[in-house]
Amino acid sequence: MGKVKLNVLGISYSQTQSGAYALVLSEEEGTRRIPIIVGGFEAQAIAIELEGLNPPRPLTHDLFKKFSDTFGIRLLEVNIHKLEEGVFFANVMFDNGDRQISLDARTSDAIALALRFKCPIYTTSEIVDKAGIVLDFDQAQGAGEAAAGPGPSEKKEPPVTSKRKGKRSKLTEQTTDELKSMLEKAVANEDYERASEIRDEIRRRQNE
């Protein structure tokens, strides 16, 4: 089975499962995308790192990263190695300087850690063939499944769902300085969903 490197494209609201999110991965040398359904907490942990937000208190994955750094443990890579009945299975490869060890992990946790350690994410060509879909942003926006943040080479804005239209319209009435102040308050209050919405509006203005 060939090894395929993946990038994190972004996160969107899941249109198929209430209260869940779709994490979208993309093959680095190809056009296929792999959507993975994750829960709200896991989506938040991934989105915070993608958005570059700095929580006032460390989340679980941030604490694990600091613990690992303190004791000289590196995360070398994440491998999504199995897809069974719609569930993705992953393992994480660590190195403590003396030996390397592979541990099982939930895929969402593994990816949240990979973003923090800035390590590569891999899967198998078999899984890409089975779960990969070709999805451009125009199609994704029509389906409400586009990533909610720019990927490695993507700069397009996420779709504005009906749930977010009211909040988005209020944000457009604020000045950029007011938005930055609101962003700081949202992060300080650990309201990361609100912080992401404000960050989206700031980025939209910067890209105009």
pTM of structure? 0.70
Comparison of pLDDT for 17 and 182, the residue scoring more? 182
Q: Give yes or no: residues 150 and 127 share one domain.
A: yes
What is the pLDDT at residue 135? 62
In terms of domains, do 31 and 85 share one?
yes
Interval 60-108: pLDDT, tens: 999 999 999 999 999 999 999 999 998 999 999 999 999 999 999 999 9
One domain, residues 151 and 164: no
Asked if residue 113 and residue 174 are part of one domain, the reply reads no
Q: Do residues 149 and 166 share a domain? A: no
Co-location of 116 and 196 in the same domain: no
Q: What is the mean pLDDT of the chain?
A: 81
Kindly state whether residues 50 and 35 are assigned to the same domain: yes
Among 141, 156, 171, give the residue marking a domain's end.
156
110 plus 85 within the same structural domain = yes
Which range among 26-30, 61-65, 92-96, 203-207 shows the weakest confidence by mean pLDDT?
203-207
CATH number, position 73: 3.10.690.10
9, 35: one domain: yes
The pLDDT of residue 136: 55
By mean pLDDT, which of 35-44, 97-106, 170-179, 187-196 is the weakest?
187-196
Please determine, for residue 186, whether its predicted confidence score (pLDDT) is greater than 90. no
Q: Sheet of 121-124: strands edge to edge?
A: 100-106, 87-95, 74-84, 121-124, 3-13, 21-27, 32-38, 133-134
What is the model's pLDDT at position 96? 94
Q: How confident is the model over 48-61, as pLDDT tens digits?
A: 898 888 888 888 99
Q: Convert the pLDDT of each residue in 131-141 to its tens digit.
A: 998 865 444 43
Length of the chain as a residue count: 208
Q: Which two tokens stand for residue 89?
A: 């299975």
Count how many domains the chain has: 2
- The residue segments making up the domain with residue 171 are 160-208
Say whether both 57 and 119 belong to one domain.
Answer: yes
**Residues 132 and 190 grouped into a single domain:** no
Q: Residue 194: is it exposed, middle or buried by C-beta count within 10 angstroms (0-12/13-18/19+)?
A: middle
Q: Is 138 helix (H, G, I), strand (E, B) or coil?
A: helix
Q: Given this model, what pLDDT does residue 105 score?
A: 96
Residue 18: the pLDDT is: 66
Determine the Cα–Cα distance for residues 24 and 186; give it in Å rounded to an integer: 25
Confidence of residue 130 (pLDDT cuts 50, 70, 90): very high
As a whole-number percent, the residues of the chain with pLDDT over 70 amount to: 80
Task: Let me know whether 185 and 88 are in one domain.
Answer: no
